[in-house]
Amino acid sequence: MATIEKHQTIYIVFTKTGTWLARALKYFSATKYVHTSISFDPSFTSMYSFGRSNPNNPFSGGFVRENIYDGVFKKYKKSECLIFEVWVTKSQYDGLLDDVQKFVTNKHLYRYNFLGLFGILFNRPLDRSYHYFCSQFVYSMLKKHDIVTFDKVPGLVQTIDLFEIDNKSILYEGFIHDLEQSHYPSFEF
């Protein structure tokens, strides 16, 4: 008898802020959402990505734990988001959680892949060890656990490519300040 695997939920969070980098990326992108994060937390107070480690310093980038109600998202009052709820198997969920925990534990090793953004412009991936940009990180995690099957190398993936994830539904789209936080439980590592 075949075993049916239970499904879990993860969240892919796309955001638009007013930072100079977000505005510059928007200029070269076909979507308004130029940042993406992965979350296991339906309150979105624990999201994981590559971005600013200090909301006031655009050059301090690396692996970050984000809170949708704080940091850059709070600083830019008109920040918007699009949140996908994605169904994954329990083994995919556990694998993702384990891999993200490894990034959390070793966050000091990782840096933001600014050069990789130029690679996208010229359709030439500029992969560097321990360096990621946000969509490169999210895609790498999803691809490793067979949640996405795009025929694209991680160094060329943009946020708009992640819109093609299967097994998803839109949970929310709109201003972050309108996102109802009170009915979500919190999840912490």
Low-confidence residues of the chain: pLDDT under 70: 1-6, 18-30, 55-58, 180-189
Q: Which two tokens stand for residue 105?
A: 């534990």
- Tell me the pLDDT tens digit for each residue of 68-117: 999 888 888 888 999 999 999 999 999 999 999 999 999 999 999 989 98
Choose among 154, 75, 139, 64: nearest CA to 108.
Answer: 64
Residue recorded with tokens 């994830």: 165
Which pLDDT belongs to residue 71?
A: 84
CA–CA gap between residue 143 and residue 25 (Å, rounded): 23
Which pLDDT belongs to residue 21?
A: 59
Contact criterion met (CB below 8 Å) for 38 and 96: yes
> Angle at the Cα of 178 (from 56 to 69), degrees rounded to 5?
30
CA–CA gap between residue 35 and residue 68 (Å, rounded): 12
Which pLDDT belongs to residue 187?
A: 43
What class has domain 7-178? alpha beta
DSSP H or E stretch at residue 140: helix 134-144
Chain centroid, CA 101 distance in Å: 15
Contact criterion met (CB below 8 Å) for 145 and 84: no
Q: Which two tokens stand for residue 183?
A: 């009915």
Which pLDDT belongs to residue 37?
A: 98
